[in-house]
Amino acid sequence: MIYLDNSATTCVFESAAEIMRKQMTEQYFNASATYAAALQNERLYLEAKKSIANSLKCSQNEVFFNSGGTEGANTALFGAISASNDRKHIVISAIEHPAVYDTALALKSRGCSVSIAPVNKDGTVDANVLASLVTSQTAIVSIMHINNEIGSINNLSELSKAVKSVNPATLFHSDGVQAYMHIPCDVIACGVDIYSVSAHKIHGSKGMGAMFIKEGTPMKPLIYGGGQQDNMRSGTLNMPGIAGMRAAVDTLSSMQDLMPKLSDIKNAYIEELKQIAECLIIGDPSKTAPHIFNIAFKGIQAQVLQNALEEQGVIVGKGAACSSRTNKISRVLKELEIQADYAAGAIRISLGAFNTLDEVKPATQIIKDTVLRLRKFKRR
């Protein structure tokens, strides 16, 4: 099988799976307990915070573990609104992941106002446009770092600067789920207050994630309980998840040449696939994420193509996996005004640490043949 849907989820690294197994069956102690057996886990927890902090270039006490990107987005938006006194305005971009988009809509139904920043043709947010939406009432702005469907990269430092220049009290959150460990995520240089990441997109486990919350940021927790993690995120520490995430981060950190390699693989795929007639690479591949691209084939149903490719051992994404159970055309592609007969046939190819250049030839041959074969069947 050639797995090309790493933006949906990734295969867990052996190093991560192994330490997770150990955490579950041997070192299963509650890290908050006071006996010696548990102390080892508390140490591991602190080391994990350090690893994540290093990867985000922030301080260790600014890292909080949670259940993943969706919780991160909910915490950021609900937490900022609860702590903002009477400021109830939220700004997001038009192509946010549902974790942000639908959370903003939920807050709207509870009395907040939401402004949606349009995106440029390349799927990025314009700093001036964003700044024009920020008001004295804006509590939080949430702009994704890398778009999950097309891989476009936002310039966070420029955007955060623009937001803060209008209202310094406005918090800036970025959904870093697709960016984390794929492009430099220096949260301080990016000027963000809150940054959410997920473990299962970087070869850690599902149900695991982390947030950067800049020291001194006025935030209320989303989840209350035993007061773990400085009261910011209660709940028994998910030690298997934490240990696995740390192992994944450490493994990826040691693979210095991985991102250039993924970039090369991505370009090799694009080189091959763009030979197919009537196809459209969405976004400028030289400016998009090293591991994601979206390609639309005219006159094809993405679902049928995905089915047919899977039958031949090639797994690709169609829209975003979180929303791909519906056959509607993606909100992101609609926003980018991609022609409907192309957008209906858009697939996403996303790479991970296990992909190789050797896969490109066989995979692209299968995709080419399948697209040509399926194109014979058009509604007449």
DSSP 8-state assignment for residue 64: E
The backbone torsions φ and ψ at residue 62, rounded to the nearest 5 degrees and listed phi first, read -100, 5
Q: In this complex, which beta carbon is closest to other proteins, that of residue 88 or of residue 334?
A: 334
Among the listed residues 11, 112, 279, 322, the single catalytic one is 322
One of 308, 316, 347, 351 touching other proteins (CB under 8 A):
308
To the nearest whole angstrom, how small is the minimum distance from the Cβ of residue 308 to other proteins? 4
Structure tokens at 261: 């390699």
Residue with tokens 């797994």: 315
Q: Which of 177, 135, 150, 169 is closest to 94 using CA atoms?
A: 150
Q: In one letter, which amino acid is 264?
A: D
Instruction: Please choose, out of 79-87, 241-249, 254-262, 297-305, the segment that lies near other proteins by the rule CB under 8 A.
Output: 297-305
To the nearest whole angstrom, how small is the minimum distance from the Cβ of residue 199 to other proteins? 27
How many residues belong to the site for other proteins (CB under 8 A)?
A: 18
CA distances from 100 to 71, 97, 302 (A): 10, 6, 25
Q: Is 301 in the site for other proteins (CB under 8 A)?
A: yes
Q: Which of 364, 72, 350, 71 is closest to 192 using CA atoms?
A: 72
One of 26, 109, 168, 378 touching other proteins (CB under 8 A):
378
To the nearest whole angstrom, how small is the minimum distance from the Cβ of residue 2 to other proteins? 17
One of 303, 315, 321, 323 touching other proteins (CB under 8 A):
303
Q: Which of 8, 40, 7 is closest to 23 using CA atoms?
A: 40
In total, the chain counts a number of residues equal to 380
Q: In this complex, which beta carbon is closest to other proteins, that of residue 237 or of residue 314?
A: 314
Q: In this complex, which beta carbon is closest to other proteins, that of residue 110 or of residue 378?
A: 378
Q: Is 9 exposed, middle or buried (0-12, 13-18, 19+ CB in 10 A)?
A: middle
CA distance 63 to 190: 16
Q: Is 358 in the site for other proteins (CB under 8 A)?
A: no
The backbone torsions φ and ψ at residue 47, rounded to the nearest 5 degrees and listed phi first, read -65, -40
Contact 78, 72 (CB under 8 A): no
To the nearest whole angstrom, how small is the minimum distance from the Cβ of residue 324 to other proteins? 11
Instruction: Please choose, out of 85-93, 115-123, 167-175, 301-309, the segment that lies near other proteins by the rule CB under 8 A.
Output: 301-309
Between residue 309 and residue 338, which ones bind other proteins under the rule CB under 8 A? 310-311, 325-327
CA distance 73 to 195: 9
Q: According to the 3-state scheme, what is the secondary structure of 281-335?
A: EECCCCCCCCCEEEEEECCCCHHHHHHHHHHCCEEEECCCHHHCCCCCCCHHHHH
Q: In this complex, which beta carbon is closest to other proteins, that of residue 310 or of residue 341?
A: 310
CA distances from 108 to 42, 126, 130, 228, 275 (A): 39, 24, 19, 30, 45
To the nearest whole angstrom, how small is the minimum distance from the Cβ of residue 328 to other proteins? 9
Contact 96, 118 (CB under 8 A): no
CA distance between the termini of the chain = 34
To the nearest whole angstrom, how small is the minimum distance from the Cβ of residue 326 to other proteins? 6
One of 165, 307, 339, 356 touching other proteins (CB under 8 A):
307
Ordered alpha helix ranges (H), 274-323: 302-311
322 is catalytic: yes
Q: Is 305 in the site for other proteins (CB under 8 A)?
A: yes
Structure tokens at 213: 């919350």
To the nearest whole angstrom, how small is the minimum distance from the Cβ of residue 138 to other proteins? 38
Instruction: Please choose, out of 164-172, 211-219, 268-276, 306-314, the segment that lies near other proteins by the rule CB under 8 A.
Output: 306-314
112 φψ region: left (φ > 0), alpha (ψ -120 to 50), beta (else): beta
To the nearest whole angstrom, how small is the minimum distance from the Cβ of residue 301 to other proteins? 5
Q: In this complex, which beta carbon is closest to other proteins, that of residue 258 or of residue 308?
A: 308
Residue with tokens 């998009």: 288
Q: Is 295 in the site for other proteins (CB under 8 A)?
A: no
Q: Is 83 in the site for other proteins (CB under 8 A)?
A: no
Q: In this complex, which beta carbon is closest to other proteins, that of residue 113 or of residue 365?
A: 365
Instruction: Please choose, out of 64-72, 99-107, 162-170, 300-308, the segment that lies near other proteins by the rule CB under 8 A.
Output: 300-308
The catalytic residues are: 322
The residues of the shown chain that bind other proteins, judged by CB under 8 A, are 301, 303-308, 310-311, 325-327, 374, 376-380
